[in-house]
Amino acid sequence: MKRVFDLAVASLLLLAVAPILAACALAVRLTSKGPAIFGHQRYGRGGTTFNCLKLRTMVAHAEAWLEEDEDLRALHKQNDFKLPMAKDPRVTRIGRFLRVSHIDELPQLINVLRGEMSLVGPRPVVGEELEWYGDRAGDFLAVRPGIFGLWTVQGHRRVEYPARASVELAYVDNSSLMGDLSILLQHVPVVLRGQGEE
């Protein structure tokens, strides 16, 4: 039932946002070098890796920049493997708008259709983040990661690790279709508010 729900809703949403996605992809291409869609390797169900899709919000060589800059890499790790937008010199001007509005996440609907993600679930993680889940990493990886979840619904009040791991595992332990519907509805004001320039 969850997979059928994912396919039906993701298909409708993708059709609805296609004009916005196309316009923003064009804006990305026209304002900076590189592809419009960026795929970042994350861990999915069963521990398999996949490219988590986003509209590109950074310069094309952003990953290499992070690897070469020790201070930036240290800040990245301290901030739960995500740099505060105001302190990340790699983010483009159009990228700031895409992040604040959450539009950069729209390509993940394609991940849902492919079966790599679900509409609702724990957010997909990089390898270093799995350490926070300890002996429950297998439980965390037993479900498809999601676009929305118990952690993302916290909005500006999102907790950091290790508390984040507890929140994500709470979803794994208590997930249900009705619970997913509730989480999706709770995200409406979160998406409308935007994430702000952290």
Read off the pLDDT of residues 70-111 as tens digits, 9 standing for 90 and up.
778 787 777 767 777 777 788 898 999 998 888 999 999 999
Domain span including residue 66: 2-193
Within-domain flag for 105: yes
Answer yes or no: is 17 within a domain: yes
pLDDT band at 145 (very low <50, low <70, confident <90, very high): very high
SS3 string, 96-156, reads HHHHHCCHHHCCHHHHHHHCCCEEECCCCECHHHHHHHHHHHHHHCCCCCEEECCCHHHHH
Average pLDDT, integer, range 14-27: 95
Is residue 197's pLDDT more than 50? no
pTM for the predicted model, two decimal places: 0.86
Structural domain count of the chain: 1
49-55 and 37-43 beta bridge pairing:
antiparallel
In-domain check, residue 198? no
